[in-house]
Structures are given as C-alpha cells and as structure tokens.
Structure 1
Amino acid sequence: MAANFVASERIENANLKDRIHTAVETIIQAQQAAMTAEMIGSAAAAGSSSN
C-alpha cells in the first residue's frame, strides 16, 4: 500500500498509475494466497501426524 501511495504522488500518467496499482494489488493477493495455503498445509500435516 505504501508503495502505491508514493507512486501515486509522483506519477502523472493515469494509465501507468492504474497499471502499477493493479500490479501491487496482484502481488499482495498472491502473497496472501500463499500464506493461507501454507497455514492450511501445516494444519493438515499436523493433523495427520497426530493420528
């Protein structure tokens, strides 16, 4: 988010600004999905090893 705010202040081209915003949002969503998958995988592994 902070990178997007800094970029918004310095970039005049609206099209480029939109592209950067979309890229940042995509990266954040990918990171969140990876962390969720890791937590689910860890929980599944812990559950199966306790049986």
Structure 2
Amino acid sequence: MARLLLNHGSISSDEVDAIWLEGFQEPLSEFIGAEAMNRFCAELNSLPVST
C-alpha cells in the first residue's frame, strides 16, 4: 500500500482489496464493509507523501 501511495499518490479500494487478498485470502472490503473501506482509503489518501 505504501508503495502505491508513494508512486501514484493515492490508492483505490480495489487496490487495497487486492493487496489484502494476498495476505489474508479475503478482500478487506468484505470484512469491514464498503463504508468503512471508503473511509480507510480516504484516510490513506490524505496522508502526506514525501518525495
């Protein structure tokens, strides 16, 4: 996730799900729900990124 944030400046819920799926065999959005996933991605995307 950090690499995507650094390289692209943002991360989508689909990207988070793909990463989560690799480690935990289920998408994060199914575990926490769509609304929480949207908040999580918004919080990630609001983090300051140094270049």
More helix by share: 1
Q: Give TM-score scaled by structure 2 length.
A: 0.40
Q: Give TM-score scaled by structure 1 length.
A: 0.40
Return the index of the structure with the highest Cα Rg.
1
